[in-house]
A and B are shown apart, each in its own frame.
Chain A
Amino acid sequence: MSVRDLLSPFIAWKHLFREPVSIRDPFNREASERYRGFHQNDVEKCIGCGTCEAICQNGAIDMVIVEGVEGIKTRPGDSGLRPRIDYGRCCWCALCVDVCMTSSLTMSNAYKWVENDPDKFRYIPGVDKKEWDNVKQGYHRPDGHRLNAPERIEMPELEPAERIDSFVEIVGGYSVEQARLEADRCVTCGICVATCPTHMPIPEYISAVRDGDYERGLKLLYDSNPFSQICGKVCTRRCETTCAASHEGDPIAIRWLKRHITEQVPYEKYRDIIGGPLPATGKKIAIIGAGPAGMTAAFDLARKGHEVSVYEARSHAGGMTRYGIPEYRLPFETIQREIDLIVSMGVEMHYDTRVGTDIQMQQLQQDNDAVLLAIGLWLGRGTRIPGADHPHVYKAIDLLRRIRDGEQLEAPKSMVVIGGGNVAMDIARSVARLQKQQQGEINVTLTALEDKAHFLADPVEIKESIEEEINIIDSRGPQECVSDDQGKLVGLRSWKVLSIFDDQHRFAPTYDESDEQLHPGEWIVEAIGQMSDVSLLGDALTEKLEWDRGRLQVDDDGHTSEPWLWAAGDCVKGPDIVSAVATGHSVATSIEAMFEQKEAQNA
């Protein structure tokens, strides 16, 4: 200790002459740019998936019903719920912002809020108006900061060069490791379930993939979809269009994960896992058409113990999956496995039996307690342009059926396809393969009214078609199938499309007639839609039934105006496998309900 130690502290006096350092106006001090303050939510961007709630470790977030707010409605892809935050619990960690699937949830830099009532500190951001709603500063998820992987695990596929000269299946299927990684991306929100026509328990079976519990997964699949192996390969996967992950990345590969489950369980174990039929009830049902709708209903009803007979005009079951979808997308074997499984539930199959010719409707009505019409859409629609009656102008559906039936078609040197849907892609790609096999050269032109961005086909189909050297020309209106002097078809004359629909959204295409092209083709294939062949019903029944613009009219359960007759599948819902499965289920439920009702009346 020294004199210095006595004097040195007097240095403190210098602060007498210093400006105060405290903030003059503490009430209006703005917080920093990335400050984590009160939440904001862009409610129109928000889809109410509840992932914010799932990650909140404080339990501060509730998903609540919001009514009467513009832009918020329960619809496919949006639960209509919105997060409400309890600031008695929130710890401002912003994990909810980091995990938000749409980036709708952010934080402002506002931190002052005074109330007397503690229960006021609970509000629905974006719905309950707050003064910081439009504040730009505050925490937003930084670029590259993700709490889940945004990119899909790529599916192993054959390269175009490897696949173009054969009908070998293109898609290879995920390995266990790949499937787990893909399943891991799912946030288990369940938004997709409403979009699936048959409401498969998607998050649950994806969880089964994550856990590696494939038997549990298979049970979940077959409880809701007896066409799971087929849907695992060719489902239109509408679920993926509403997947929460699609907003800020790739949707989960739901279809491929379903496929993966079906591939991981040995086929011999399927039936034990799924379970056999209940004891026989003595009730009899006839089903016309062995496609997805008919066979789904057959599966459901047979498992209940009813006696089910399926009448199929062709030699194999599967309907459009068997005769409409090319083998490179769906091998025969997959279909056969599916059908065998359904038949094993005790379904009696009558192949090569055309109702109306080999057996009459009336007979079926007499012999059964219920009849289901699941006859699909087997008549191709035509363009009715001049020259469309030429023998080398085909309907896509007819050609596809002939190819799948094993007929050795001699492919034309060149071909034009009219249409931009999946069927158009299927025929274009099938004939391209035949051309490659037979001639070594591909010459297929595909024209459609729509521009490429609005094609009805799956984008993957379009991408793969281009890879396979299909010449896609969009926005072309077909005008004439042109033949030369000898009557040989030479190609399709088309005009440039200006618009497809009029102001009232009615189909009324307009063209630029000065932009005319001739697309060379020895064949022209029309792939612009299909309709049902209802001639089997006979005049009397056709007269009795109610119709809606050419389609058989049914109620929500597929019940026609006749008490004994139901209808399901493409012929009532339009072409889509998984929708057909859904209607198959609902008619089965409806038929079952009718039986129970009758039983109750008799008792």
Chain B
Amino acid sequence: MADAEFGKADRSQYPHRRPDGSLDIDLTSGKYLKLWQGPNHPGITGNMSVELTVCGDEVVEGKTHVGYLHRGFEKLMERRTFIQCFPIVCRICVPEPDFNEYCYAAAVEELAGLEIPEKAKWIRALILEMGRINSYLMYLGGQAGAFGQGVIGQWTTYARDLMLDRFEELTGARIYHMFILPGGVRDDLPEGFDERMEQTLQEVERTLDDVYDTMFRNAVFKKRAVGLGYVDPALVDEYGITGPVARGAGVARDVRKDQPYLVYDQLDFEPVTGRESDVYARADVRRRDLLMSVDLIRQILSKMPHKGEVMATLPNVLHWKIPRGETYIRGECSRGEYGYYLVTDGSGYPRRVNVRGPSYTHAMALLEKLIVNVNISDVAGLMVSLHTYPPEIER
């Protein structure tokens, strides 16, 4: 156990549990203190708070509070036509919006019986990998920042900005790309995109070299991150853990490999795994996964067909009705399994859209479990290591 390694006693039974399983915390005793971290939390991209009960500098209980970003997207979509849902889905996850576009589009295509052109699949995969790189770059800055290393964030933000330039020239927007829509993608790659992308990828690699030397080979970072936030591989199924958190625990699950979508069956890669299942291991899995995305983008650009349509023929979207049915589409985003459960009822509007974001399980049930017995100063680092994007919890 991680705690044992740090020579601490197991104090999970302290305070006592009541017969119903809740903790017997008597705030008037003076032994405990309630501490709110959030909603502008240092450890989270977005707004979320954690209600901590501390004893000394140690957390005895933590409860996640969300709702600061709730806009009711799933409900809003029930009042919008299938095409009108397309511009709003990306807002469910700001730093990596493209999975929303992809999963929604693929779900609609499946239920509507729409086949998309081959080239559109390649461009979709390209965009998803570009988004993954951006998401990881943001994460690395946050993970280092949670332990006081501000400079890493400055470097990764620079590299991310270059990737945003590529997004801008490809999709016409930097953050909310609104490019993958039911039927395909909006447009082909612009002239000379490959070369500029290659330059960007090289810059990302250079940046990651520096990050590796200063963050991963850093005594301070190791001291804080190694052993922190251990996730038992046995929890993976119980808690619905996916993505780098699962892979950091040695569970080699990657949707790109397990259920290849788009063109992943034509790409050469192996899921990146770790062993120690602590904050350091997860950070390292993500760093290597990022480098794998760099490689995947190179593969995609070299294998992609040069010519071809990028958009299927759509029926008139203003009256588009989809027969009754339901489906679930998933993809492997930077945080784990991202999925859309879409139910249609034969009308021009979705009957129900349910977005499954990996943060839903990671930042709620899992975080509340991991946070016990953690030092207050490590809470931020632990939270970042679960790579939480709150809007996908509350949608």
**Which of A3-11, A222-230, A265-273, A393-401 makes up part of the contact surface?**
A3-11
**Closest 4 pairs (CB-CB, A-B):** A93-B87, A57-B84, A8-B217, A148-B316
Q: Could you say which of B83, B87, B172 contacts A35, with CB atoms under 8 Å apart?
A: B172
Are A12 and B314 neighbours in the complex by a CB distance under 8 Å?
no
The reply to whether A12 and B222 contact each other, CB–CB distance below 8 Å, is no
The stretch of A181-189, A338-346, A549-557 in contact with B is: A181-189
- How far, in whole Å, are A8 and B80 apart by their CA atoms in the complex? 54
A8-B217, A33-B190, A55-B83 as given contacts; A149 in contact with B178, CB under 8 Å: no
- Cβ contact within 8 Å between B169 and A32: yes
Main secondary structure of the interface of A (DSSP, over half): loop
User: A375-425: which residues lie under 8 A (CB-CB) from chain B?
Assistant: none
B173 and A35 contacting across the interface, CB-CB below 8 Å = yes
Contact B317 A34 (CB under 8 A): no
Q: Chain A 43-66 against B: per-residue CB contact (8 Å), 1 yes, 0 no?
A: 000000001001101100000000
**Cβ of B389 < 8 Å from any Cβ of A?**
no
B316 touches A5 (CB 8 A): no
Q: Which of A139-197 contact B (CB under 8 A)?
A: 139, 142, 144-149, 184-188
Contact string, B209-235, partner A, CB cutoff 8 A, digits 1/0?
010011101111011000000000000
Contact A57 B218 (CB under 8 A): no
Cβ-based interface call for B186 (8 A): yes
Residues of A within 8 A of B (CB): 1, 4-6, 8-9, 11-12, 15, 21-22, 31-36, 51, 54-55, 57-58, 91-95, 98-99, 139, 142, 144-149, 184-188, 210
B87 & A95 in contact (Cβ 8 Å cutoff): yes
Closest to A139 in B: B172
Q: Counting CB contacts under 8 A, is B309 at the interface?
A: yes
Interface residues of B in 358-391 (CB under 8 A from A): none
Query: How far is the CB of A4 from the nearest CB of chain B, in Å?
Result: 6
A10 to chain B, nearest CB (A): 8
With an 8 Å Cβ cutoff, the count of chain B residues facing the other chain is: 42
- Chain B, residues 22-45, CB within 8 Å of chain A (1/0): the string is 000000000000000000000000
CA A35 – CA B179 in complex, angstroms? 12
Q: Which residues of A contact B214 (CB under 8 A)?
A: 8-9, 11-12
B83 contacts A147, C-beta separation under 8 Å: yes
Contact of A12 among B80, B151, B186 (CB under 8 A): B151
Taking CB atoms, residues of chain B closer than 8 Å to A93 are 86-87, 178
Interface status of B315 (Cβ within 8 A of chain A): yes
Q: Does B71 contact A (CB under 8 A)?
A: no
Assess the A91–B176 pair: CB atoms within 8 A: yes
Pick the contact of B187: A57, A142, A185, A210 (CB < 8 A).
A142
How does the 8 Å CB contact mask read for B188-220 relative to A, with 1 for contact and 0 for none? 101000000000000000000010011101111
Q: List 6 A-B contacts (CB under 8 A).
A: A55-B84, A95-B86, A95-B87, A99-B317, A145-B311, A186-B316
Given that A21-B158, A34-B172, A95-B83 are known contacts, is A5 also in contact with B311, CB under 8 Å in the complex? no
8 Å CB contact of A91 from B87, B313, B316: B87
Complex interface: chain A residues within 8 A of B215 (CB): 9
Asked whether B88 is an interface residue with its Cβ less than 8 Å from the other chain, the reply is yes
Instruction: Identify B318's interface contact among A6, A35, A187, CB under 8 A.
Output: A187
- C-alpha gap A149/B319 in the complex (Å): 12
- B165 CB contacts on chain A under 8 angstroms: 32
B115 interface contact, C-beta 8 A: no
Q: In the bound complex, how far is the Cα of B217 from the Cα of A95, in angstroms?
A: 48
Residues of A within 8 A of B173 (CB): 35-36, 92
**Interface assignment of B168: CB less than 8 Å from any CB of chain A:** yes
Which residues does chain B contribute within 8 Å of A8, judged by CB atoms? 213-214, 217-218
Q: CA A200 – CA B192 in complex, angstroms?
A: 53
Q: Which of B172, B210, B219, B318 touches A54 (beta carbons < 8 Å)?
A: B318
Complex Cα spacing A575 to B254, Å: 72
